[in-house]
Amino acid sequence: MHRHEPVDSADRRGLGDGKVRARARDSFFADRHAPAGVPRVCHGTSCLLMGGRKERDAAGADRAIYCAGYCDRSPVVLRPDGSVTKPGSVAPLAPFPEIRTLSRRAIVSERITHGDHHELARARAAGVWEALETAVRGEPATLLRALEASGERGRGGAGFPTGAKWRHAASAPGPEKYVIANGDEGDPGSFIDRVLLESDPHAVLEGLALCAFAIGARHGIVYVRSEYPRAAERVERAIIEARAAGLLGASVAGSDFALEVRVVRGEGSYVCGEETALIAALEGRRGEVRVRPPYPTSQGLFGAPTVVNNAETLVNAPWIVRHGPAAYRALGTKASRGTKAICLNAGFARPGIIEVEFGVSLRELIEGEAGGHGARAGDSLAAVALGGPMGSILLPDEWDVPVCYEALGARQIDLGHGGLVALPVGTDFRALALDWLAFMADESCGKCVPCRVGSRSAHALAGARTRDSDAALLPLLDLVSAASLCAFGQSIPGPVRTILTRLDPSFARDEARS
């Protein structure tokens, strides 16, 4: 069975000859071309900004990864044994960053601020699995109502109401349903899902199991990006422990609810963080996005109703069951309930993870909790990047905004996964734009021409640095945004446009506008 066919054979849906599909995957997934048994150099935004370009240029493209999830200590290298080190070193870095809570109540950081809870005994002592044991003694409808009443929204970037997504899948007809924990956290600058999968995997599994019970699914999948080998191993071990304890399997917590869960490892693709591309990869196909509707909640994996939630979203669900939806709604703002984990890269004076209540000022977060200035004495910040290369670049005059979906959305600011990367004064912003355009060209799924061709053409124009190329660049970016099939291509121009028009003194502004 292929790694991307976790439940059934993709052939049963007529997805084509196995050899043809294998060739298609070979042409798509980066890991299929990477040399085995050699260190992989991180090309993520934080690593490049913090001095990693030398290692990138020396290693070559076939040894690249786009984020190892250690942005708080970049630059880094992923070793063949799964450990992460500094360049030129073989000493493994400690897996967990500094984790702080800036909220009246901790949710996602409830346990990880107190250390590693990957083993079942410690997780259960801290209350993990209690919510599921309570839920399976009741009705799925009760659980659905609690999630809807809580106001929780997905933490993967889109912010869609979790309860509504679960309700859609629960009401969709079909003999089989699936729940997928999306651990393909790909935005360079975000690492909360890595930390949760490694140090709190039982909480992720409990959230997945609650979703499965609510919608009537018997199959669960935890999809973990290949750049997180330690996370995949921890979740696999947690599944074995939970099954042995009767918390997964044929009779979950002694009930008539059955759930089997397994881990599937990705093969190197940023776009597989998008739910329809992830589903395509699980079916043994290229990880290409598809037009919606139909949405996965009605026609997802193998055509069956499917819920895809990321790890941080799922960890919220047990907390809501244990403490009640009213306690959750008491945190955050009217339209953005609860908390959000914000990841701070090594460019800040105090890097790590901060769990904040929605509504905290971005300026307070940057200047207060993150230290306000760069990692080196005397540094000051020209801007910050929020939400990865597909997110937003914010200059200091834009920091007086609450961190919540409604306020950020009103200003067309993308929160994304919540990764925050410092951009110090003196940053080579044209080089950063080129890095991001190369990332977008490499990671485009290739399904639509505007994204596939436009990203490469934009990279070539930005690198040319002539008046004519700069004049052509912004109109091209507008075309890519307007004509691309999915949010990947539609988001390409945002941060690059900000760099060129507000931060790059070499950009031929007058000529580009003419």
* pLDDT at position 13 over 50: no
pLDDT of residue 510: 54
pLDDT of residue 16: 52
Pull the structure tokens for residue 152.
């929780």
Q: How far is CA 263 from the centre of its chain?
A: 17
* pLDDT at position 15 over 70: no
The mean of the pLDDT values for the chain is 91
pLDDT of residue 53: 87
The 10s digit of each residue's pLDDT in 454-501 is 999 999 999 999 999 999 999 999 999 999 888 888 887 889 999 999
For the segment 247-256, the average pLDDT, to the nearest whole number, is: 97
The 10s digit of each residue's pLDDT in 412-428 is 998 989 999 999 999 99
Q: Are 67 and 25 in contact (CB under 8 A)?
A: no
* pLDDT at position 406 over 80: yes
Pick from 1, 175, 191: which is nearest to 84 by CA?
191
The Cα–Cα gap between 397 and 63 comes to 39
For residue 269, CA distances in Å to 26, 30, 385 come to 12, 7, 21
Q: Contacts from 462-470 at CB under 8 Å and sequence distance 24+?
A: 462/430, 462/433, 462/434, 462/437, 462/496, 462/500, 463/434, 465/430, 465/506, 466/508, 467/508, 467/511, 468/511, 470/500, 470/507, 470/508, 470/511, 470/512
Using pLDDT thresholds of 50, 70 and 90, give the confidence band for residue 14.
very low
Per-residue DSSP letter, 425: T
Using pLDDT thresholds of 50, 70 and 90, give the confidence band for residue 204.
very high
Render 34-100 in DSSP notation, one character per residue: SPTTS-EEE--HHHIIIIIHHHHHHH-GGGEES--S-GGG-S-EE-TTS-EE-TT--SPPPS---EE
Look-up of token digits 């050899």:
19
* pLDDT at position 132 over 70: yes
Share of the chain above pLDDT 90, in %: 74
pLDDT of residue 378: 61
pLDDT of residue 272: 86
What CATH number matches the domain at 339-424, 1.10.10.60, 3.10.20.600, 3.40.50.2020, 2.60.40.10? 3.10.20.600
Residue ranges of domains in the chain? 10-85, 109-329, 339-424, 429-513
- CB count in 10 Å sphere of residue 385: 29
Q: What is the CATH number of domain 429-513?
A: 1.20.1440.230
The 10s digit of each residue's pLDDT in 72-102 is 999 999 999 999 999 999 999 999 999 999 9
Residues in the chain: 514
The 10s digit of each residue's pLDDT in 427-444 is 999 999 999 999 888 888
Label residue 297 exposed, middle or buried (CB < 10 Å: 0-12, 13-18, 19+): buried
Pull the structure tokens for residue 431.
């080089």
- The SS3 of residue 408 is helix
Label residue 190 exposed, middle or buried (CB < 10 Å: 0-12, 13-18, 19+): buried
Structural element, H or E, at residue 343: strand 339-344
The fourth-level CATH superfamily of domain 109-329 is: NADH-ubiquinone oxidoreductase 51kDa subunit (3.40.50.11540)
What are the φ/ψ torsions at residue 270 (nearest 5 degrees)? -65, -40
Single pTM value for the model? 0.93
The Cα–Cα gap between 391 and 158 comes to 12
pLDDT of residue 17: 62
For the segment 334-349, the average pLDDT, to the nearest whole number, is: 95
Domains 109-329 and 429-513 share a fold: no
What are the φ/ψ torsions at residue 384 (nearest 5 degrees)? -130, 150
The 10s digit of each residue's pLDDT in 21-47 is 777 787 778 888 888 889 999 999 999
Pick from 486, 24, 27: which is nearest to 283 by CA?
24
* pLDDT at position 125 over 60: yes
Structural element, H or E, at residue 102: strand 99-102
Orientation angle between helical segments 229-244 and 192-199, nearest 10 degrees: 40
Using pLDDT thresholds of 50, 70 and 90, give the confidence band for residue 392.
very high
Residue type at position 13: R
